[in-house]
Amino acid sequence: MPADAGEPVLRGAFITVEGGDGAGKTTLVRSLAECLDRAGRRVRLTFEPGGTELGRRLRSLVLDPKLELGDWDETWLFLSARASHVQEVLKPALAAGELVFSDRYSDSTLAYQGHGRGLDIDRLRRLNAEATQGLQPDLTLLLDVPAEVGLARTRARSADADRIGDADLAFHRRVNAGFRLLAAGDAERIVVIDASRDASSVLADAYATVNDWLEARATDS
């Protein structure tokens, strides 16, 4: 079916990196971008919540430990940040043919607000579809690490309070279990990587996965 007149064709590739707190997403996307750059592939890095001015402002609200927020209020803030991210950053970059990596995207809402907070997953999926205008990642790397290990890493890095990171261990375990369920339900898109290993082993697996995926995509097109 032809694309709607006026809707740009998204020729680029959209890869997301997901996982619980301290899984190593930020570390990984930076190193991956360097490796891909050395191999001649320019990468655009972005993240949620953030990536736009509205996203950055909403991020400081949603993570502020002094702010009391209901679970749905929290959800709307993430969705608003995502809607601006899609409209202002992701769609234009993909329309221009870029290779885009986002540190977190819509699976985080399903895992944190759905599995972690216990909100209705089907409703969250519908709201994600609205906020993203239907834009799904082509490939997702899920960094899987036990919640205790991830939290120990983030707490060793900084003692700063964080409204979501400071939730109890049971919450973070539900989030991680939620991510694994999402991966089991969408094995074509979501590749699980054991992120409890050292950063260079995680990078080697992630790089091989992305490279294979990019080559397969080039062969198919």
Per CB under 6 A, residues contacting ligand Z5A are: 19, 21-27, 48-49, 63, 78, 104, 108-109, 112-113, 153-154, 157, 162, 164-165, 195, 198-199, 202
Residue 19 φ/ψ region, left for φ over 0, alpha for ψ in the -120 to 50 degree band, beta for the rest: left
Measured from the CB of residue 27, what is the shortest distance to ligand Z5A in angstroms? 3
Taking the least distance from each CB to ligand Z5A, the nearer of 137 and 165 is 165
Measured from the CB of residue 218, what is the shortest distance to ligand Z5A in angstroms? 29
Taking the least distance from each CB to ligand Z5A, the nearer of 130 and 198 is 198
d(CA 169, CA 171): 5
Taking the least distance from each CB to ligand Z5A, the nearer of 98 and 205 is 205
Measured from the CB of residue 178, what is the shortest distance to ligand Z5A in angstroms? 11
Measured from the CB of residue 147, what is the shortest distance to ligand Z5A in angstroms? 11
d(CA 153, CA 96): 37
d(CA 40, CA 46): 19
Taking the least distance from each CB to ligand Z5A, the nearer of 113 and 218 is 113
